[in-house]
Amino acid sequence: MVVAIFNIELVVIPWILILVFNLFGSALRITAGIWATCEMCWWVYYSSWASSNASKIKSIAKAIELGEEVGPEFVSEVQETDAARKIIEFIQGHTLEKFDANHWQDSMAYVYIAGMLKLFGYVLGWLFILFIASIPFPGVWIPGLVISRRNNWKFGYLALFAGNFMKNYFYAYIWELFWPYRPYLFGFIGLIIVFVYGYKKFRRLTWKDLFLNSLVYFSRTKKNCSDSRS
């Protein structure tokens, strides 16, 4: 939750580094890269922690599901509202599955990285992780982290950190470029919000359904994309 609130692309760079600390130029871009490096250190630690505590996390989810560690009144209420299933899905989705190799093995990024490593080996394969990590799109870097951790690949970690630094250096440059025109930018974002809200009302979707539909669409694997085209 804290990491989401202090999202570097949407929160830290515009509202903290520019608005609060009034940073511009190389100071802004380098500070954004350093902040992103510290955030990546957290994700590396967190992915390792989630993997090493997998059995404990599963037991917690199982205890919630079976009601072994909570009171019977709470269990009945949770089962009635179907909150137990949501808690279990949240625990597994944000700890185990997010950094599990089996979860990402069908994704395009994971397949391409594995293919580049098989074709060029670890000496040149790290260049592709550098490229993947520098793509300005959320979550694309996770397969690179999974492969680096799975193989204890130090050059993979270095490429991941370097690509992440470059990506947020670029984000800071874009924010600085558009900051004088922020009223128009925020007006455009407002129009998008109005459009999404109207679409939600028209389709009679809840915010949760809209978010899940968007998440499913942008998380499609290579296999699913080819099936939809055929």
Residues 75 and 106 in one domain: no
Please count the residues of the chain. Answer: 230
Calpha distance 47→185 (Å, rounded): 35
Residues 23 and 115 in one domain: yes
Mean pLDDT of all residues belonging to the chain: 75
> What are the pLDDT digits (tens) for 114-150?
777 777 777 777 888 899 899 888 778 888 888 888 8
For residue 104, which of 222, 204, 212 has the smallest C-alpha distance? 222
For the ranges 32-36, 68-72, 165-169, the lowest mean pLDDT is seen at 68-72
Asked whether the predicted pLDDT for residue 165 surpasses 80, the reply is yes
The more confidently predicted of residues 137 and 176 is 176
Please calculate the CA angle 221-83-218 and round it to the nearest 5 degrees: 20
Calpha distance 95→57 (Å, rounded): 8
Q: Count the domains in the chain.
A: 2
Q: How confident is the model at residue 73 (pLDDT cuts 50, 70, 90)?
A: very low
Q: How confident is the model at residue 168 (pLDDT cuts 50, 70, 90)?
A: very high
Question: Distance from CA of residue 13 to its chain's centroid?
Answer: 17
For the ranges 114-118, 184-188, 214-218, the lowest mean pLDDT is seen at 214-218
For residue 58, which of 91, 94, 90 has the smallest C-alpha distance? 91
Residues 38 and 133 in one domain: yes
Q: What is the pLDDT of residue 46?
A: 82
% pLDDT > 70, the chain? 61
Which residue, 44, 64, 99, sits at the end of a domain? 99
Range of the domain at 65: 53-99
% pLDDT > 90, the chain? 24
Residues 76 and 46 in one domain: no
Q: How confident is the model at residue 37 (pLDDT cuts 50, 70, 90)?
A: very high
Residues 215 and 117 in one domain: yes
21-53 burial: b if 16+ Cβ within 10 Å, else e: eebeeeebbebbbebbeebbeebbeebeebbee
Residues 44 and 66 in one domain: no
Residues 41 and 85 in one domain: no
Residues 214 and 178 in one domain: yes
Q: What is the pLDDT of residue 129?
A: 87
> For residue 88, with 0-12 CB atoms within 10 Å meaning exposed, 13-18 middle and 19 or more buried, which class applies?
middle
Calpha distance 201→197 (Å, rounded): 6
Question: Distance from CA of residue 120 to its chain's centroid?
Answer: 27
Residues 116 and 40 in one domain: yes
